[in-house]
Chains A and B, each alone.
Chain A
């Protein structure tokens, strides 16, 4: 019962939010939240650490951007194309990476994503360092004008909720149970007769496709796409969001995304405040060095906060409830 109340409150808050907070910012949060949830499907529920998810996020973003801008496709088709592109990249990347276990898997995804980065860097359609600009929002179903931020917000919210729901459904399905079994004891799953590689690949492609959806949607929201979204630092960022929020929890990545996106935007302010407080000018430059703060949070989380926000809250509740 608690869960349903929680969801209802969250939904109400989400519906009311754009009246209080800048809608474009909220939409970005939603996109990253979806991205993180898609990523979590792989790490939290299948036990596979991919360090190359930017390839799907940014990859789809560029494809959708190009489709909408230069090919003049309608909104829905543009998004669909982005998803398909991400899934295709995911299929190729996944089938190569799955050949090696554990630590190698992460390195392979990183290397392959980097390869894609170079492709995007040099490909003419991305316009390289300038980024793809002027991506039109178009109309939903040919009639609803998406140029209005509020309208777009509710569309993006719907997309995000659909994505979350799909992930939740997957996790609780028999397919999801097998993934969990693979995460906990792969050798056992194999001995039980499951074609483990097939399941992993499927999870990988699904994760890629949804990450692509998130990236494509973000491109439409912002009207542009840059190389940042295909850079390995983006892959690292989504790992951090999931870690901070809570690996292997459903709501964790969403919370993590909110925290990290907010942090990224506010780090400059915190830096200035610290500088004013301590008179150490260097703090001002923390604002420019989001990287350093990100790294610091990574270290703290890995050492002391592995369950993430949602994980810790969950543990707190289960401790109090067993008394």
Chain B
């Protein structure tokens, strides 16, 4: 058995993979946050709640309607996205003219309501969700056993993140989004329905969070509290990376997940706070964040 610093290679790679899994969630959530913040200038505190909602929708879909994982992987984000668009159209849009802190407070209130709602039905304990049959088990790679589901999570996340990056940086629609982030009024003067774009963008960001939630369901216990602790770490990720770059958010998210995983191997007590510690370091040395464009 190979050992590095007294830890078996298997254990280390296993933690590394878990770190990548967490990193994928960090990447997807900070990506959604960045996209929403760019166009709406609102920090979506409710992002964690939508992640949780995605996981719960998957669970509810299976347990109440017999809809399997694959169906919910598409349906849950769609439902969450629609719900998000309704929230944007009915609640959020009244606040754009005001100080941005009100948007933050509103989404915080939405977080509390959603969490409270799910808690009132399901309490705080986690609901189990089993790994879909297709992805159960592990593959023997020779130097380690690779849990299939975790590998799938990483691959799926990377694909989705990359697709989002591509859509934003390389397509016409993405050009509208980028231009709208800079000067929404002018983009509207060119004839683009910017209010609609804003609504769709919020819906998309939220759907991304819900997608992460569905991916998370078999890995993490589905509980009403699963979003809020995660989202605070995501905020730290966002502070570290800045929100100026899509690719930056993705890379930082993955990197921090890996670092967290490695910390869990060597210094487990530190693993809950290592991301925050890095945030402190970045703030001291490079206040604007690693990829930041100060807004």
Contacts and interface: CB of A to CB of B under 8 A. Distances in A.
Interface of A: 49, 96, 99-104, 106-108, 110-112, 114-115, 118-119, 122, 232, 236, 239, 243, 282, 285-286, 288-299, 301-303, 306
Interface stretch (B115-123, B165-173, B195-203, B205-213): B115-123
Interface stretch (B12-20, B98-106, B130-138): B98-106
Interface of B: 37, 43, 91, 94-95, 98, 100-102, 104-106, 108-117, 119-121, 228-229, 232-233, 235-236, 238-239, 269, 272-273, 276-277, 279-280, 283-284, 287-289, 294-295
Given A96-B284, A101-B294, A299-B91, A292 B43 contact: no
A298 B116 contact: no
A231 to B, nearest CB: 10
Contacts of A298: 105-106, 108-109, 112
A299 B109 CA distance: 5
Nearest to A290: B116
Contacts of B269: 122
Main secondary structure of the interface of B (DSSP, over half): helix
- Max chain A CB contacts within 10 Å: which of B116, B233, B288, B289? B116
Contacts of B295: 101-103
A302 B232 CA distance: 22
A94 to B, nearest CB: 12
10 contacts: A99-B283, A100-B287, A106-B104, A236-B112, A289-B120, A290-B116, A291-B113, A295-B109, A295-B116, A296-B112
A204 B263 CA distance: 32
Given A100-B289, A119-B273, A243-B105, 14 more contacts: A106-B101, A108-B283, A115-B273, A118-B273, A285-B121, A290-B116, A291-B112, A292-B113, A294-B112, A295-B111, A296-B112, A302-B95, A302-B109, A306-B102
Contacts of A299: 91, 106, 109-110, 113
Contacts of B109: 294-299, 301-302
